Amino acid sequence: MFTGIVEETGEIVARERTDDGLRLRIGADEVATGLEHGQSISVSGACLTVEDDVEGEWFEVFLATETVERTYLGELDEGDAVNLERAMPADGRFDGHVVQGHVDAVATVSTIESIDEDWFFEFDLPEGYDRYVVEKGSITLDGISLTVADLDTENGRVTVAIIPTTYELTTLSEKAPGDPVHLEVDVLAKYVERLLEARFE
């Protein structure tokens, strides 16, 4: 489990296509320290498993075909940046919200606006996902725990306000309209929906 509080951005330093998927080598400073084979790590919101690592320099993850098809990680090239977060320890501080690292779909940046020191990002949600989003609720975009500032259900769009620290420490500073982002809606909303469906079946 993760919290959506990005620890640092890493860089794709190598990629290798295989018959079963894609292997990525990701360079990182803080996050690569202490990683071990088999640990979970969030890479721009996708929960992946560490396969190999060189202490404090880089680590490798493997993306199965399902992950490649559901995310945009397969489109990344060497030099591209990704958001990184290690799995939350049992005794750790819970600063974000419950993030599983299970990417639901890929959303798209529609507009970016700078107002004073803040940034407002608007995203086009894939069809049907706006029902899991509520104003002032939580949403995960590229592994970042964010609060919904505005929801346009008519057009299927969500707006979030980004403070300078989040803008500078994550890949959002490199995004432009039309770029993809990984979407994970609040898992509590999905559980509530399933319980209601079961009740009225």
Catalytic residues: 2, 40, 47, 49, 64, 102, 147
What's the token pair of residue 142? 């590229």
Which SS3 state, helix, strand or coil, does residue 77 take? Answer: coil
Of 151, 144, 138, nearest to 173 (Cα)? Answer: 144
| Nearest of 7, 130, 17 to residue 76 by alpha carbon | 17
Buried b (16+ CB within 10 A) or exposed e, 122-145: bbbbeeebbebbeeebbbbbbbbb
Question: Reduced to 3 DSSP states, what percent helix, strand and coil does the chain have, rounded to the nearest 5?
Answer: 20, 45, 40
Closest CA to 151 of 175, 126, 123, 178: 123
Torsion region of 119: left, alpha or beta (phi above 0 gives left; psi -120 to 50 gives alpha): beta
Residue type, 143: G
- CB proximity list for 42: less than 8 A, separation 6 or greater: 2, 48, 83, 84, 85, 86, 87, 99, 101, 143
